[in-house]
Every structure is written in C-alpha cells, then in structure tokens.
Structure 1
Amino acid sequence: MTRALTLGLLALLFLPTTHAQQVTGLDGWELFLDPGHSQTENQGIYGYSEAEKVLRVSLALRDMLLDRTDIDTVYTSRTSDTQSVSLSQRTDRANALGADFFHSIHSNAGAPGTNNVLMLYGGWRQNGQTVEKTPEGGARMGDEYVDAQVEAMRLPTIGNYADRTFYQGFPDNHDNQFPYLFVNRTSAMASVLSESGFHTNPRQNTLNMNADWKRLEAQSFYWGILDWHGVPRSTHRIATGIVTDAESGRPINGATVTVDGQTYTTDTYESLFYRYSDDPDELANGFYYLEDVSAGTHTVTVEAEGYATATAEVTMRDTTFTFADVALVSTVPPVVVDARPEAGEDGFPITDPIRLTLSRPLDPATAGPAFSLVPTAGGDPVAGEVTFERNGFELVFTPDAALEPRTDYTLTLSASATTQNGSPLDGDGDGTGGDDFVLTFISSFPDVAAPRLVSGDPAPNARDAEIRPVVTVAFDEVVVPETLDGRVTLETLGGEAVPGEAIVSLAGVVGETPSPRTTVSFVPDADLAPGTSYRFAIEPGVEDRFGNASAARYAFTFGTGDGALVDVLLDDFEGTSIADDWWVPQQSGSTSGIVTDSTSVSASPLAYPLGGETSMRIDFGWAEGGDAKLIRECFGGCSPGHSFTEEATLRARVYGDGTGVLFRFAVDDGTSGIEVSPWTAVDWYGWKTVTWDLDADGFGTWIGNGAWDSPSSLRMESLQLGYDGEGPRFGAILVDDLAYLRAPGVAADGGPDAGAPLRVDAVWPNPARASAQVRVSLGAAASVTAEVFNAIGQRVAVLADGDAFGAGSHDLGIAAGDLAAGVYVVRVRADGEQAAVTFVVAR
C-alpha cells in the first residue's frame, strides 16, 4: 500500500459522526479513542486476541457517546480487524486533528490466575513529587476509570499510576522527565492508557468473547467520562451477572435468564465458542446482560437444561450495574466419567491406586462406604483407604497392600453414593439414578525383576566433570530407600573413599502415564581433585517394593576437569526470586500450543543438592493439534541486568521427568535479536547439568541470525521448552542454579574501558522483595563505599565500606528482605566520583 493511500485510509477512520443527543455538558470536547494493537495481535489463552476485543470496546464506547451526549467529535484510530496502524500513526493523527483527550484501550497479560484493572497516565517523579504531562487530565480520568471499571468488571485494581513511576519506581527524580509509554509521550493532549483485565486469564478471555461484555466495559468508560466532566450520570438500568453450576463453580452454557419480560441466553458452543475450540465442553462464561430494564424490583428467573429453575429478587439501580449472579443446582444424577482401571483391563498394576472420576462431586459420608473391591471368584474385600480429591469429583482407593497378581477383581460403587443434595449415583449411565457402578479387571503379573540403573550424570567415562559434582543415577523403578544405606560409594581409582551424602528421591511421577523412578544423588563433602579419575558404585542388595534385590555391583568411572572456570550465579531460585525475576509462560506472546491450566512456574522444595532450599518447577501441558509448541520462560522481564561475553558457558541444573521435553537457553545479543542453543531432550530422571558453550556449541533456530553480533554484551533472555510430538504431553521439570562460567580474572561483563568513569547500573530486580543487587563498574582500581538510604535520608545498609575494588564490574548484594516497603537510594563513591540509583522495596 502506498503512503498516500495509507494516509487516505486513515483519514476516513477519523471522520466525525453526529447522532441524537440526550446528555449535555460535553459540547466542544473531542475524544480520540485508540484501540491498542492491530488485527489479531496479543492472543488470549483461548485464541481471542486483545486487539479484537479492545476494538469492539472502542466502537461501542464511540457509539454510546455519539448517541447519548452532545459531544462534538469522537475519533478512533482503527475501525476493523484488517487495519494495521503503527503507534506513530495513532498519535500523529490525534495531534493533527487537535483532539482534546487521547484514550488508549488495552487489556493486560500475566499468569492465568491474575486479573485486575490498571490505568497509566503520562507522568514521572521530580523533586519527590509526581508530575503529570501537560495538558493535564489523564491522572484524573484514570481515577474515574478505575472506579468505574472496578465496579463494572468486579475486579481488583492495582491502581492509577504515572507511567514512568509504574515501570521505573519511585525515586525523588527520574532520569527521564517525560512519559514512559509512547502514546502518552507523543500525544499532545491529556491522555491515559487503560488495562482492563487480563486476556491471559481463562475466565476473562471467555468473557471478552461476548459482545455484551464489551458493551459492559464500554458502559463503564462512558460513565467514567461523564464523571470526569462533572456531568450527572445518565440513567441506564442494566441487569447483569454470571450463571454458574453450584457444585463446580463452572459457568453454564445455554442458561436462559428472564428479567422484566426480557430474556437472555448465555453463550453456547454453537453460538460462539466453536470459533475458538474444537471441544464443545471446553469454554463457558455464563454471562448475561439486559439493558433498559424498568425501575423497581424484579424477579430474575434462570433456567437451564439439567438444572433446577432458580429465582432471585433484584432492585434496579439507575446509574450503575445491577448484578445478580445465580448458582444452579444440577438435577442430573452423578455418573462415573472415567475409571482407572478401565473396564475389562488386563494387567492393571498391582501397586497402583484406583481412581474414579465423577460428573458431580460425591458426599464422602455416603460414597466412602459405597465403595468395595473384591476378588471376583470370592473372598474378603480388599482393605484400603478411600479418599477424595478435586473437591469430591475424584474418588481414590489406595489398597493397604499390593493386589494379588493375575487375579480377577470386581469393583463396585453402589447406588447408596449420593451428592450433597441427595442425588443418587447413576451407575449404568442411563440418565436415571439409583443403580450401582460395576467393573471388572485383571491385575498384572508380579514384579520378579530386580531394579536396574537406566541413566547417570556425569556420563560414564566423562573426562571433564566438575570438581564438585553431584553424581546422580536413576533406577528403572521405585526401590526401598533403606536398602541403599551403606551401598552408595565414590572413591578414587586407588580405593580411597570420598566422604559425602547419598540423597534419595522419587522422579517421573508427573505426566499422562506416570512412570515412577528412584534417583540417587551422591554429594561429596568437598571439592574433588582436578584432573583425577573417580569410581562411583552401588553395591548389590538394592531391593524394590517386591523384595527383588540387585545381584551385581553397578560401577562407572569419570574424570574431573581442571576446575579453572569461575561460575557467576544468575539465579539461585531462592526466596521470592522466582516470582520477582521470572515471567509465567503465558506472559510471553511467544508461548504457544500449551494447555494453559497445566502450564505454570512455581517454587519446588526439591532443590539441587548444592543449591539451597528451592528450585524452579516448570509444569507443562502441550495442546493437541498442529500449532507450534513453545514455552518461553522469560528472565528479568526478558531484559535482565546481567551480561557476559561469547566466551562464557551457560549452565543450569535440570531435574528431568523422563518425558523427553525439549529444553534450551535463549540469549539476547542486543543487535540481531535472540539466539538460542540447540535443543536438549530431557530424557533423564533426576539432576543433570545442561550447558551451552556460547563459542563452540553452535545455535538453534528461532528469531536470531545464528551469530553473535554483539559478542561482548550478551544477556540471559529466557529458558525455553518445546515439544516435538513424541512422548507424554504433560509433565514437569525442575531448574536450579542458573549460572554462566567464565575464565578467572575476566570481568563479569568486560567492565568499562580503562580510565572510564564510575558507572552504577539500575538495581535489579526493581521492585525488590527478598534480595536485589546493584552493579558497580570501574575503569580503574578504586576504594569504594556503597550505602543504602531510605526516603528520609537515614542510612539503612552498607554494601561496601572503603573496600578496594579492581577495574571491571562488581555485583553488590542488597538484603531487601530486611528493609521495610518503600523507596531507597544506593549511593556509591569511588576515589572522588559519586553516583546514585533508586529502587523500591515491595511487600
């Protein structure tokens, strides 16, 4: 498209429209609405994008203002999903038109469990005060929008902020005395950017799909604009709410809501959700929205197939929403929707628990006694414990002892099992309750094989092992931990024993088909000798749960390297570092092809034996179908404060689950994009060290050019997981002690050139919670003093006290967990030079 044609098209978008008027007080005011992004950018969890949603909110708001008020003009930066409009085109056009106010409409992104409202106006900190860009008005509009949106969307808010303050903290003075966001910075009128909920939140994304939900959002902005102008809110009586299943809390599709003679049917697969899912049961929002309801008190009647009709009384409010959420009680008797073992299964493992998944939660008081397991040929019932998981939707029976091998069993859940409201079990699934659920199966052969080892790290005959290794091996089944006592050894080839500790753990228990393994990690008490050969061994007599014992000695040798490299820790995954420093996978637009409810990051108490108390657990679930499968786990917001050179080697400790999920590092070289390491298939169990020699190991393929264009200033960007269609779709790995290795005597990031002045980088992370660090770089050796002061000038910490620092970069740790929430200043002096940076401690 030529530039002239593009500008011509844009001109058409901003033509004013005149409609009937009811509310006065906006005459002469011109509003520029900017639905953020373009086309289908920023996909939500279920494939409905931020760009599509905010466009329709903008168009609905425009029509409300033009139809109901005497507003002079409402412009909008785009009117369809086909247009692609740049940031500069948006603000350039608003400035050329001379609009009075610029509102950029967005939704937010984050963890699936996160959802809130946020407003950002153009502003910064100066002399301890917040300064709003001129002309002012965005801050006040943000306040009105927050109040209106919190009420309409029934979400919490994290506030209304000056944009530079939100992104860069609360110093006395920001280095850049202008707005942070482009649209706030370059628009020549009062402005605000709204973040209305999270399109990465499962509940919110399905609500966003509904056309009337977007009208609800627009209505809240409309009332906020009237409040900003000091104009009384116009009367619009709106009955709205969510219809849910009383037992599961899940929104109900196809529910009919009647109020004051008006009827609304909640979305269904056939009416809406087929556009975003191939599964008729995956999506639901239960949302209804009825406008122009008459004044007074009305009965809300809700009906849905398979549920008892429910009613509620509501008294309509004139100038805000009238909410009436209704929970329906199912009339469909509970059925067993999944069973492990399956009916007729031949070879159900004799040590596995039995699981029955129900369509409705059962009352434990009735369901526990209703369960029985007996040999089909006769005999006593199998003793065991019945428990309930997933809020009563899953019954689990755990036998006290292994089942008899190669035996026919009959499992029964009798009709005496009921829901909390007394609905009896529909055992045969014919739609009528009151009959037993029965299945038969045959148990597996007994285990007669002794446990054997299937993987190890270091690899047998390796010659470059670390001088302080954690030697890890995995058995092919669960073994009795006590039988390992005294049988795990590490020694020199001359027979000299290495003192240390053997740690036993269970691995491979996550996934579609759990395959438990026992891992053994031997941790030496001290460094091994460099350049020396060692033998690891497990003596005979290790037993599995059936008493099968290993009869042979398992042993392998490996050699240590020279131990010359220095490791520089990037993250130890302790304390709150995971929440502070790492995005959840759904925050990255590059993450794709996942089952969002099964994909997350969290802290795990199973840590690398030399790595503290916790590690980072990455749970993954890969969606079926042909979409690209990638989890991008961003470090430090994908722009951390560490840097290194191409001579470094990245290293991570990875605890494998045996699924074969793909793992790689991603590094930002600041010029050509992001380079990635070749994929490593995590086909092992237990701890293993994964490395990427940046200079020698080559590159994988992603969005870089396969070369280091800025080899002296590389930054850790993310960890990534992938799926090649092989192996289980669900699982988890652990990552600990992320670091890079460098030659001794080399500055962490090369440091400034000789003779360069003192440089103090921004505190990272910021805001800080448990810990933070600040990097001090010197062009020459100097005596350094570094102190932390609170907002009233009191010294609260000393990081360096006249210490002699060499030329290069030095990372100083800040114990933020010892500080109260607030704003702090780090002041650094070095041989007559001085510099300061600010940071925020959050709780």
Structure 2
Amino acid sequence: MASGFRVQVRMLALAIFILPMFVSFGQTLNGVKFCIDPGHGGNNPANDRRIELDPGNVFWESEGNFQKALRLDTLLRAQGAWVILTRYTNSYPNDDEPTLTQRWQLANANNVNWFHSIHSNAFNGSTNYTLVLLKENISTRQPAFPQALTMSNIISPKIKAILRTPGNPQVALDYTFYGGPNGGFNLGVLNGLAMPGELSEGSFHDVLSEYRKLQNRAYNKMESYALRNSFMQYWTVPADTQGIVAGFQTEFGTGRALNYSRVVLLPGNRVYTGDQFNNGFFMFDQLVPGQYQVRFETPGYTTDSASFTMTSGATVFIDKQFESFAAPTVVSSVPVNGDTIFSAERSIVLQFSKTMDTASVRRGFSITPNAAGRLLWANSNSTLTFDPDAVLPFFVHYTVKVDTQARSGGGQQIDGDGNGVPGDPYFLRFKTRDVDVVPPQIVASYPSAGVQLASPTSVLNVTFDELLNAGTVTVTNVVIQKIGGSLLTRTLEYWPLGTRSGINVYLASPLEAGASYRMRVSGVTDVVGNPIPNSSPIIWEFSVAPQSVEYTTIDRLDTSVAHWLPPSSNPSTIGVGISTFQLTTTRVVPPVPENAGSAQLTYSWNTGASAWLLRAQAVSGLPRNVRFRKADNILQTYVHGNGSRNQFRFAVEDSLGYEVSKWYSLDWIGWRLVEWDLERDTLGSWTGNGQLDGELRFDSFQLRYVLGTSASSGQLNFDQLQVARRVITSVGEEKTIPGEFSLGQNYPNPFNPTTTIKFTIPVGTGHAPSVLKVYDVLGKEVATLVNEVKPPGEYQVQFDASRLSSGVYLYRLESGAMRLAKRMVLMR
C-alpha cells in the first residue's frame, strides 16, 4: 500500500496491558475466528502497485499480499483457528476483488474475532521499516479498539525481527497518521469493523533489495510466521517449539545475490532451491530443537557449510558469501576501450568481476608506452586504479594490458576477452588529449538571465557542460537571493548524466510573485578540480510576474498512468523504435507535497526514418475531465530533462481540434518546470488552425527527434501536470489588516530540516500574546517559535528541525481564546 508518503512514528505505548477480548479454548487457537485480508487485488493497474526495478521481473503488491495471506491461512488453521480470506484469487480481470467496504463487511457478516489486512509499503526507494496502522476514534483521538493497539505493538517488532527490516518498527493511529484535523481519515478497510483489527505494512517494496526479496515465496512465509506468532502470543497460546533457519547468499567481492541457489539441510537431506529474482534467500522451517548443518552447494560457486543449534521456537539467520567459479573479467574501465579524448591527467580504473589476487595482477599489468605510477586497490580488491606519477603526454595512443598470470582471489585465471574461456590477456586501448584546465560552463539554466517567470516555482535548475565534483555542489557555492532581501533557504540535488551534469535547487518556499532574484554559482569544480572562481562567480538575475496564481491539478502522475495510452500504441507516433510510459517511485519532485512517484518515458528513435513524433496521450479519467480556457491560464508540468536535445511540447484539444505549444529543446539535466502560457505564448503547428478556440482539455506530451542534433534515445520523467490560473489584483493595492485568525500549512511539507509557517493575527486580540509551539505526536512540546504580543498583520516564521528525528509533528497557534493547529512531516 503506497499513498503519498510514509512517516515514522514511535511505537504507541497506551493500554498495552489490556487482556485479549476473546480467549481461545485449550492450548491452540481453536475457537478463534480470523478474517485475513490480502490488500489490493488482481494485478489491476487502477488500484494495485506495480514495480519493475529489474527488467522483466514485475512485482505487484497484491501478489505479495496474497502469498502471505495464503501461508498465514495454513499456519492459523494448523493451530485450530477458523479462517476466511477476503479474496482467494489474484488474476486480473477475472479475480474476486472486493471493495474496501466489502472486506470489513465480510468480517462482520462472519462474526470473526479478529481482522487483519496485509500490505507492503512504498515511499522514496530507500526508506524501509515495518509499520502497523489501527483505527482511531476521531472524536476521542484514542484507538477505536484498545485490543488492536495491544496486538499492533506485538506484530510490528515481530515482523521487523523476522524480516530484518532496517528501520525501527512503528505503530500509528490511522487518523493521526494521515493528518488528523488537517485532512486525516480512517482507513477504508478498517472503517466499519465491528471487531478489533489492524493493517500491517511489513516492508517497503520500492527498495531494490526488498523488491527482490518479496518475490520469494519463502520470504513471504517468514512474514506469515511473524503474524501467526503474534496472534498466538496475544491469545496466550504456547509458542511453537519448531524453529526456522534462513539467510541470504551473495557473491564474494561483488555482493550480488545468488540465483537458483541450492542449500541442503542435514539431517533429513532437505533441499532448498532458490529462485531467479536476485534475492539469494533460503529458508527451512518446522525444525525441532537439536543440532543441524546446512550445506551450500550452488552450481558455479564454492561450497560451504554451517552447523548450528536449534533451540525451541528460534529463528536462526545464516548469511554467507561465495566465490564464483567463473573466470574473472574486466567489466568496466575508465577510459572506455577506444576512447580518443581521455584527459591526460586522469587515472586509469579497471573494475573486475570479482575479488582479485593483487600480487598476480601486479605481475601481469603493463602500460605501453611505459608510464610510472602506482597501483591502488579498492572495493574488496575488485577495483584497480593506475595513478600515474605525472601527467601523461598529450595525443598519445596507449595500451594497458593485464596478462594471463592475473588470478582471482580464488585462483581462477583471467578471461581477458570475456568469452567465457580463461587464459587470454585483457587489453585497453585509448588516446590522451590535452589537460582539462577549463572550469565548468553553464549551458542551460532555469530561470535564465533576464527572464520573467509566468508563475512562482520552488524548483530551479543549472546544467553544466561536464561532470562536477559532487563534494563542491553545496549551498555555499550555489546561492539565490531576493534582490533587496536575504538568501533563500534551499537544498540541492546533483544529477550526473554521461559527460554532463545538472543541479536542482529546491527552495523551502516558492518564489514570490512580483519579486526579482539573483543567482550566483562559484566554487563548484569539475572532476579534475577546475573551479568556477570565487573571485569571478557566475551571476544572473531574473524576476517573477506580479500576479499570484491558483493551481488545478490535471494529473499528479504519482500513483498511476492507467489513463494514458502507451506511445507505441498511438497512431500519431512515428519514427520511434522502442518506447514505454510507466510509473516510477524512484524519481520525484521533492517540493510537491505528498509526492509518491512520476511518469517515466523511455524511448529510442529510428534514425533512418523520414519523420519523427512520439505522442504520450491522456485518453481517460481525470486528465481528460479537467477543462480550462486560454485566458489567464498557464499549462505546466515538471520535466526531468536528459540533455538529449530532443524536443518536447504540450498538446491540448480545443473545440475545433488539437493545438500545440512551441517546441522546447531538452537541453537541461534534472527537474525544471516547463510552462505554456496559453494566453501569451505563440502556438506551434500541428493539426489545428493555430488558435485556441473555446474550452480546452489536455491531450498529450509530444517529443520529436532532430536529425544531426538530438540523441537517438533517452529517458524523461514527468511530474505534477497542472493548470496555473493568474489571480488578478490591483496594481499598488494597499495591504489590508487580516480579518481572521489563520494558520497556514507549512511549506515544504514533508521537509528536511527547515520549513516555513505563515499565520495571521486579526484585529481584536487585545494584548494577548501570540504563541506558536511545536509538539511531537505524543503531545510533548519540542519547540516554541513565537511567544509575544503581535500587532494585527501577516507573519511567517522558519522552523529548524535539524535536532529532531523523522516523524509527524503538530504545530499550534494560540492568541487569547483562539486556537488553531496543523500537522507537518519531518522526513530525513
């Protein structure tokens, strides 16, 4: 289950001594009735979670949930429990996929004792922890069923322990978790329950390693065991005396997980055969206490064994690394073979496929013409760097050779040409060029010098002609200042791509309408150390149009692209080789609130064609239902550029046909806001009459290839497609005294580590002090931001949470008898 964002909150510690609501009969779960809900269903793109981090290996959250539920069903029945699942199939479109309401209705209709919904989570591709959510009574702000809190505090740490998720286990009340008074809600699947229940998010399926593990059925069963054991503990059933041994198998040196592994358990000669999903997992369960040995016999790798003692009900973890029998090869090099413009001052780097015997490689290494230097090893002796003592001569052809005496750490002879047969040398040939002494040059910026932006933004971009030293991409070296004001709070993100790179500047608050700004870049260096001098910084200025704007979302592009026609299926698409348009959760625009993903377009061009057009078209749903006119409106989307110099444009449908914007050259790297001012910008030419007539609807993103200029393939991301409408105000209008007491939503939200909070104080508060404080989710005060008498007016204050941990925080404004509160999310 992935819905915008996830936060970490403390394990709730209320009512943990409440006794079970129902007592089982005897020493089993006999007499206890469960309704188990495998979340989502049917591999249905409209309401399921699809992820494909390894090409060809597709994971659906519904399938992982379903497999866990099937195994939990078996485990609970073995303990004498009565079990019903909310669905027994997972094959879209012919599955029995119930609605959220139908799920809790099924539990109520069968008068079960307990309900549990199984899910996995998603956020940013790196966060991974176990979370359990339970229904909150909105009026009392307490658990709707105190027994569910007791159970949740058992479940969360048990899942964490058996899956070994890295983050702290969490338990949260649903209404508070999703915002409380500021948009919070009860989970639909728990909302109408007549008995206790909870929803577990065992781990985060958008983390690469977890995505791979969740495709393993035995790994799914581990979570099922954690749930069963939690239910047994809650009902005071004696713990299972049988245990589990499990672990992960990886390749020594590279860390790659072993596919199709073979593990044998003795005594009993039980055999586990691994899968092809790059997880290396193995597991044996139902082990009675005693002495055991596991033998690791994966074909193509060294064998090993481990002995262990199984105690009653224990889970034993055995992780092992193995040496591959495959001959070592060079899998990558700097420079690449055949490079003719290798900078003469750079070091030469060889990446081997496995850990190497350094002495044998040293004996086999040579460079012609001869050059003195040092051989340096890294990454468990799998990365070799030749560091010349001096700059190599310019415009000279070199050959690096690693001869056949080179061996891996396990003694295997090098396979120099990578044909699978060891015994031949490796050659790397390249030509040097003169030394790079030129600092990085800006080739594109957003905003560019002298431009007036049509609307405010909080995402800026600077693109360079070469790769940068990432350590010099700092807020000290990349500065933005309001002219006549102070520096703006900002964070940076560096995007290397090929031989060029970009920097995103994310502002804590959007630029102000009508304001002018100055950007300065200095101290940034390229990879060989050439700096943009601090004494001669690159400076440019831009401004923002004076009108304020209001936004209407066309498509957030963060949870589904089911309403979009794949470009390859569009009859307008021409001259395109391969193209995909799919959701990704690994690349988002951070300042967009509660952003869970973006649409990723991958494409290649048939460069031999005579014409080229790629049309990614919205054909149904919300993207086609939002209607607008050209007056005062600006069509916008965030585009993650690839510097390919392909061209991009918008298309809309009007009352007579289709019209398009001008072409935008994709010369930037990273995120930037692309805008089409429907009222003021000139139109492009396509199938329409060149005018925007009547009511408009969004039609498509379009791309084209420019012969001799554009790259032949690439990847783009699109996020937050929207219409910005100008809000006209009188020029020179005097500010008025606020007529009401108000507290604005902090921006950005989620934030890290600073955010801005705005509030207004109206006439009539007398001499009462205005107090703005921040509290954690348990009500503990963590900061006082304002505590003084404020005259009527508009105010803003910055909150720095650098000393606090990730989580949900409440901020409350009080003045006299007036009180307002909102919540914010600190996400590290």
TM-score, normalization: structure 2? 0.63
Alignment of 1:160 with 2:171, yes or no, is: yes
Distance change >3 Å, CA 108–CA 29, structure 1 → 2: same
Q: CA deviation at 1:256?
A: 1.5
Alignment of 1:758 with 2:741, yes or no, is: yes
Q: CA deviation at 1:56?
A: 1.7
Alignment of 1:410 with 2:420, yes or no, is: no
Check conservation: 2:29, 2:76, Cα contact below 8 A.
no
More helix by share: 1
Q: Secondary structure at the match of 1:144?
A: helix
Match of 1:332 among 326, 329, 332: 326
Match of 2:123 in 1: 110
Match of 2:39 in 1: 36
Inter-partner Cα distance in structure 1 for 2:598 and 2:758: 33
Check conservation: 1:661, 1:722, Cα contact below 8 A.
no
Inter-partner Cα distance in structure 2 for 1:517 and 1:239: 47
Inter-partner Cα distance in structure 1 for 2:748 and 2:449: 41
Match of 1:401 in 2: 391
Match of 1:250 in 2: 256
Q: CA deviation at 1:318?
A: 3.2
Q: Secondary structure at the match of 1:565?
A: coil
Alignment of 1:510 with 2:496, yes or no, is: yes
1:376-387 mapped onto 2 (5 Å cutoff):
381-383=370-372, 386-387=375-376
Structure 2 unaligned blocks of 5 or more: 1-23, 469-492, 504-513, 517-527, 529-539, 567-579, 606-613, 617-629, 652-659, 685-691
CA RMSD of aligned residues (A): 6.1
Q: Deviations over 1:473-525 (max 9, x none)?
A: 9997899xxxxxxxxxxxxxxxxxxxxxxxxxxx99933x425899xxxxxxx
Inter-partner Cα distance in structure 1 for 2:85 and 2:386: 64
Alignment of 1:142 with 2:132, yes or no, is: no
Match of 1:228 in 2: 234
Inter-partner Cα distance in structure 1 for 2:394 and 2:783: 71
Match of 2:113 in 1: 100
Check conservation: 2:632, 2:679, Cα contact below 8 A.
yes
1:762-777 mapped onto 2 (5 Å cutoff):
762-763=745-746, 770-776=753-759
Match of 1:74 among 45, 60, 84: 84
Distance change >3 Å, CA 200–CA 459, structure 1 → 2: closer
Match of 1:443 among 431, 440, 448: 431
Alignment of 1:84 with 2:97, yes or no, is: yes
Inter-partner Cα distance in structure 2 for 1:387 and 1:694: 58
1:51-66 mapped onto 2 (5 Å cutoff):
51-66=62-77
Distance change >3 Å, CA 622–CA 356, structure 1 → 2: farther
Q: CA deviation at 1:438?
A: 3.8
Worse overlay, 287-296 or 214-223: 287-296
1:578-657 mapped onto 2 (5 Å cutoff):
588-589=559-560, 600=587, 647=632
Match of 1:213 in 2: 219
Q: CA deviation at 1:742?
A: 6.6
Inter-partner Cα distance in structure 1 for 2:800 and 2:416: 60
Q: Secondary structure at the match of 1:184?
A: coil
Q: CA deviation at 1:339?
A: 4.7
Q: Which amino acid aligns with 1:337?
A: V
Check conservation: 1:661, 1:721, Cα contact below 8 A.
no
Q: Deviations over 1:721-757 (max 9, x none)?
A: 998897376789999xx9999779579xxx99x9975
Match of 2:268 in 1: 261
Check conservation: 2:122, 2:204, Cα contact below 8 A.
yes
Alignment of 1:658 with 2:643, yes or no, is: yes
Distance change >3 Å, CA 212–CA 722, structure 1 → 2: farther
Check conservation: 2:398, 2:430, Cα contact below 8 A.
yes
Inter-partner Cα distance in structure 1 for 2:149 and 2:744: 30
Q: CA deviation at 1:109?
A: 0.9
What is the total number of aligned residue pairs between the two structures?
657
Q: Secondary structure at the match of 2:229?
A: helix
Q: CA deviation at 1:803?
A: 2.9
Alignment of 1:683 with 2:635, yes or no, is: no
Distance change >3 Å, CA 696–CA 393, structure 1 → 2: farther
Q: Deviations over 1:76-116 (max 9, x none)?
A: 34433323321112122222222221111101112333322
Q: CA deviation at 1:298?
A: 1.4
Inter-partner Cα distance in structure 1 for 2:35 and 2:462: 64
Inter-partner Cα distance in structure 2 for 1:437 and 1:472: 46
Q: Which amino acid aligns with 2:368?
A: V
Q: Secondary structure at the match of 1:510?
A: strand
Inter-partner Cα distance in structure 2 for 1:242 and 1:196: 18
Match of 1:788 in 2: 772
Inter-partner Cα distance in structure 1 for 2:258 and 2:239: 33
Inter-partner Cα distance in structure 2 for 1:646 and 1:316: 74
Distance change >3 Å, CA 459–CA 59, structure 1 → 2: closer
Q: Deviations over 1:742-799 (max 9, x none)?
A: 779579xxx99x9975343444566765323334468989889642235577982217
Check conservation: 2:342, 2:432, Cα contact below 8 A.
yes
Match of 1:715 in 2: none
Structure ID, larger Rg: 1
Check conservation: 1:412, 1:436, Cα contact below 8 A.
no
Check conservation: 2:364, 2:405, Cα contact below 8 A.
yes
Distance change >3 Å, CA 659–CA 98, structure 1 → 2: same
Distance change >3 Å, CA 455–CA 369, structure 1 → 2: same
Q: CA deviation at 1:353?
A: 5.5
Check conservation: 1:566, 1:743, Cα contact below 8 A.
yes
Inter-partner Cα distance in structure 1 for 2:515 and 2:31: 80
Match of 1:565 among 525, 546, 554: 546
Q: Secondary structure at the match of 1:186?
A: coil
Match of 2:569 in 1: none
Distance change >3 Å, CA 777–CA 329, structure 1 → 2: same
Q: Which amino acid aligns with 2:36?
A: L
Q: Which amino acid aligns with 1:414?
A: D
Distance change >3 Å, CA 153–CA 132, structure 1 → 2: same
Check conservation: 1:99, 1:189, Cα contact below 8 A.
yes
Distance change >3 Å, CA 707–CA 334, structure 1 → 2: farther
Match of 1:826 in 2: 812
Q: CA deviation at 1:313?
A: 0.3
Check conservation: 1:413, 1:436, Cα contact below 8 A.
no
Distance change >3 Å, CA 300–CA 90, structure 1 → 2: same
Alignment of 1:49 with 2:34, yes or no, is: no
Q: Deviations over 1:650-687 (max 9, x none)?
A: 99999976234888999xxxxxxxxx999854314799
Check conservation: 1:824, 1:838, Cα contact below 8 A.
yes
Match of 1:316 in 2: 310
Match of 2:210 in 1: 204
Inter-partner Cα distance in structure 1 for 2:136 and 2:236: 23
Structure 1 unaligned blocks of 5 or more: 1-20, 274-282, 376-380, 480-506, 519-528, 532-544, 546-557, 571-583, 605-615, 631-644, 667-675, 701-705, 712-719
Q: Deviations over 1:785-831 (max 9, x none)?
A: 6422355779822177423327xxx655434447799965422449x
Q: Which amino acid aligns with 1:42?
A: R
Inter-partner Cα distance in structure 2 for 1:454 and 1:764: 29
Q: Which amino acid aligns with 1:727?
A: A
Check conservation: 1:774, 1:813, Cα contact below 8 A.
yes
Q: CA deviation at 1:695?
A: 5.9
Inter-partner Cα distance in structure 1 for 2:500 and 2:747: 40
